[in-house]
Amino acid sequence: MANLVARGQYGQVPRCARRCLHERSDRYISHLMSDLAIDIRNVVKRYDEHVAVSDLSLAVPQGSVYGLLGPNGAGKTTTIRMILNIIIPDSGSITLLGSPHRANGITDRIGYLPEERGLYKKMQVRRVLRFLAELKGVKRREADRRIDEWLHRLDLKNGEKDWGLAKVDELSRGMQQKVQFIGTLVHDPDLVILDEPFSGLDPINAQALKDAIVELKSRGKTVIFSTHLMDNAERLCDSVCIIARGRKVLDGGVAEVRGAHGGRMIALAVDGDGRRLVAPVLGDRRLISRVDDNNRYYEIELAPGADAQEVLRRVVATGAAIQRFELVLPSLHQIFLERVGARGIEPGMTDG
Amino acid sequence: MAKLLVVFRREYLERVRSKWFVLGTLLGPVFFILVAGAPRLIGGRGDGTRDVAHIEVIDATGAGLGARVVASLRERFPLSRAPYLTVVDESASAAAQDHAVLRVQRDEILGYLALGPATLAGDSVRYEGRNANAHNDVDAIRLAVRSQVLALRMEREGIDARKVAEFQRFPLELHTQRIGDKGREKANQLSAIFLGYAVALLLYMMIVIYGQAIMRSVLEEKTTRVAEVVVSSVNTDILLAGKILGVGLVAITQVLSWVVLSVLAMTYASPYLFGDQGRAAAVASAAGTVGAANSPGLGLLALGIPPIPLWAAVALFCCFVMGFIFYASLFAAVGAMVNSQEDVQQAATPVMLLLVSSVIFMGPIMANPGSTMARTMSMLPTSAPIIMPLRITLVPVPWFEVVGALSGVAAACAAAIWISGRVYRVGLLMYGKKPSLAELARWIKHAR
């Protein structure tokens, strides 16, 4: 529903959108509390000299795919580790699947794929997986059955070869990643937490991971993953939260977030010579606050109070041959840049 | 608890299954037996003073004593080269002796034995040779002469020669008993020393080997980043406990296998392993003279380990368990502190120094187990796990000292577990540079 609203009306939504968003998340908390997979309230985590996470509140609805976005060092991993009770917040509360996150047995319902992956190298694949499953309270026989199923499914066990019997370090990197993924899901968790799941994946495995996330959602599971690759988040997530320097910048449904930032973005394409002609217009700070030159077209962000029609008039007046002039919904990438700004950015962050 | 069992089982099974463990378990007893038998094997090669009967017997008695002594020596030292017999008149004895000196100088013989009328009278006998200062050699020769003089005299009194030989064929082992301030001490001081030494060394070895195994295992979980997956399922205290208990049981398994295998090997394989040495010992002891007891290694193994009282065995076991837990927790903390194999040895140095400090004093303590140093070292929590067992096997230790030492170690254990639990919790997910002491203190203080 939210999708439809945003798609049809990007021109009109902006002003009230942000307020609506807040109202909406308030509603989440008051009405849907029992339906939240993760409910983080006012969590703070300080290290010796710096604040890793500052007064962060998050609400992840059950059965959704949720993206935790932010530049490196924004506090994503710290947040995830606090959710998993690996590190303990200085203050604030975390509720998982309706129980306090330190409650007994709650971690058994969570599957976790850490950013830095690793398995016991000298251990047999099957034994590693059995170990991970048993740590989550799965009985041995049931674990063996599921491991078989998974190995088949990810083609680690077929007529020719059963990689389950090999040692972990005999496997290729890609296969090890598959094994790690099985380890995350072998106990059929209700909440799946993936820290930077796409980093280091080749396109084929990345596609498989996307499929898996969609499938988990279709089975009613909640998936939360952190990433700095905005494209993935935009395609996969129902909701996102952008954090930078330990603080929440914005959160909400992807469509709503984009809608809230709509109407201020213009895609402009001019032919060869036109690029030189429009340069003075694009440089006018009264009209345009930021230009992202994508080579084939510009993404232009209007200055506050500026009018898109005024921009169009000015561009036409330059005499440049216009191939495209379109009001567009900003991508998460654009929103991210706009809201987080260059200060939050580290090398490698924009490669998505 | 269920998760503790899962962690424990993984640590135990993965180690016990490894081929290195199996190899070490099988080769351990072979190594021990070789070490125990080495002095005998090397010493028994038939050179040096072991070739004790390779002498010239100069017989000036005119009564055939020389021939008897030669026969007796050959019987007593079947592995030695045979003695030469020179029968001379009393007047020619001195010349024969001078000639023998030359032969000794040319290394043709080890020494010479001059038998004369004084020998027959039971007064004196002369031995000169390269090994004239070796107590055992000279004693053995003296015994051989003495018994033959006796036999000769008995025959003169009309006792049948065969009967005389028969009379002499008895082993007469000497059982010694040391008496201390509190009455009788250990039955066999030599085997007590051997046992004490073996136990202390074994404890030390096990703590070093398996304590470091824990350290490497923690480091491995850290560097392979398995740690993060695991601690998202189980809390670090349980992980640490499971690791220490699992690896500890591996150590116990190994020691028990060694003991069982060694006993089996000694029972069934010793004749093959030691070959003629074993037979020689048997012959010698049947001849009723210097017997198996003169070969410490073999004799000990044949005698077996002297029985120690049950309470001492229990105390010994407690020493091992707590000592292991103490050092294992420290090693685990070290493993959690660092990030690479290069750093870990350096960071482990303080722990290793603590351990080694107890071992370097083993010599003096064995020489004087009642000294103040021995008592102090056996009470100090860092060295008690190794030195107390050593003392227990050497001398009677009052029960309150044992209990005191054990409580000290228990307290140290608790402290070590507390500290390393905290370092482990923080360090396991801390990458980057090695923490300074101040940082380490902060970890311990702030870990929750």
Q: What are phi and psi of A105, to 5 degrees?
A: 85, -5
Does residue B174 sit within a domain?
no
Helix B399-427, helix B310-337: angle, nearest 10: 20
A346, B7, B234, B252 from B228: Cα distances, Å: 25, 14, 10, 29
Global confidence as pTM: 0.70
Q: Rounded distance, CA A6 to CA A17, Å?
A: 10
Residue B50 has what pLDDT? 65
Residues B271 and B411 reside in one and the same domain: yes
Residue B185 has what pLDDT? 56
Strands (E), B164-230: 179-180, 183-184
Interface of B with A in 57-76 (CB under 8 A): none
Does residue B177 sit within a domain?
no
Residues B73 and B19 reside in one and the same domain: no
User: Of B76 and B115, which is predicted with more confidence?
Assistant: B115
Secondary structure (DSSP) of A95-128 = EETTEETTSTTGGGGEEEE-SS----TTSBHHHH
Task: Give the residue from B168, B196, B218 where a domain finishes.
Answer: B168
> Cα B92 from chain centroid?
51
B23: its two tokens: 């190899």
Which residue from B minimizes the CA distance to A112? B229
Q: What is the pLDDT of residues B406-434, one digit of tens each?
A: 999 999 999 999 888 888 888 887 776 67
- B63 CB burial (10 A radius; 0-12, 13-18, 19+): middle
Helix (H, G, I), strand (E, B) or coil at B21: helix
CB within 8 Å: A132 and B233? yes
B132: its two tokens: 């004239």
Q: How wide is the angle at C-alpha B110 spanned by C-alphas B104 and B115, nearest 5°?
A: 90
Helix (H, G, I), strand (E, B) or coil at B210: helix
Q: What is the pLDDT of residues B178-213, one digit of tens each?
A: 565 656 655 455 566 677 777 888 889 899 999 999
Residues B322 and B399 reside in one and the same domain: yes
Residues B285 and B397 reside in one and the same domain: yes
- Residue B224: list chain A partners with CB under 8 A: 118-121
Residue of B1, B17, B228 for testing the chain A interface, max A β-carbons within 10 Å: B228
Cα dihedral value A291, A293, A298, A301, nearest 10: -20
Residues B410 and B310 reside in one and the same domain: yes
Residue among A87, A116, A136 whose CB faces B233 most closely: A136
Does residue B180 sit within a domain?
no
Residues B221 and B353 reside in one and the same domain: yes
Domain count, chain B: 2
Task: Give the residue from B168, B198, B225 where a domain finishes.
Answer: B168
Does residue B428 sit within a domain?
yes
Does residue B112 sit within a domain?
yes
B153: its two tokens: 């005299």
Q: What is the CATH number of the domain that holds B117?
A: 3.40.50
Does residue B176 sit within a domain?
no
Residue A9 has what pLDDT? 35
Q: Rounded distance, CA B164 to CA A247, Å?
A: 106
State yes or no: pLDDT of A20 exceeds 80: no
Nearest alpha carbon to residue B426 among B237, B242, B244 = B237
Does residue B235 sit within a domain?
yes
Residues B101 and B18 reside in one and the same domain: no
- B336 contacts chain A (CB < 8 A): no
- B362 CB burial (10 A radius; 0-12, 13-18, 19+): buried
Residue B276 has what pLDDT? 45
Residues B34 and B55 reside in one and the same domain: no
Provide the mean pLDDT of chain B: 80
- B167 CB burial (10 A radius; 0-12, 13-18, 19+): middle
Q: Which domain holds residue B310?
A: 2-41+188-446
Start-to-end Cα distance in chain B: 20
Residues B146 and B293 reside in one and the same domain: no
Cα dihedral value B22, B26, B27, B32, nearest 10: 130
What number is the average pLDDT over the span B78-85?
A: 84
- B431 CB burial (10 A radius; 0-12, 13-18, 19+): exposed
Residues B300 and B393 reside in one and the same domain: yes
Q: What is the pLDDT of residues B319-345, one digit of tens each?
A: 889 999 999 999 999 998 888 888 888
Residues B194 and B309 reside in one and the same domain: yes
Residues B11 and B56 reside in one and the same domain: no
Residue among B224, B228, B448 whose CB faces A121 most closely: B224
What number is the average pLDDT over the span B60-79?
A: 85
CB within 8 Å: A135 and B228? no
State yes or no: pLDDT of B8 exceeds 90: yes
Does residue B119 sit within a domain?
yes
B36, B389, B395 from B180: Cα distances, Å: 28, 20, 9
- A140 CB burial (10 A radius; 0-12, 13-18, 19+): exposed
The number of residues in chain B equals 448
Residue A186 has what pLDDT? 93
Which stretch of DSSP H or E encloses residue B225?
none
Task: Give the residue from B140, B168, B196 where a domain finishes.
Answer: B168
Q: What is the pLDDT of residues B13-57, one digit of tens each?
A: 999 998 889 998 888 888 877 776 665 555 444 444 467 888 999
What number is the average pLDDT over the span B101-126?
A: 89
Q: How wide is the angle at C-alpha A127 spanned by C-alphas A124 and A130, nearest 5°?
A: 155
**% of chain A surpassing 90 pLDDT:** 29
Q: ipTM > 0.85?
A: no
- Domains defined along chain A, listed by start: 2-259 (3.40.50.300), 264-328 (3.30.70.100)
Residues 6+ apart with CB under 8 A from A48: B442
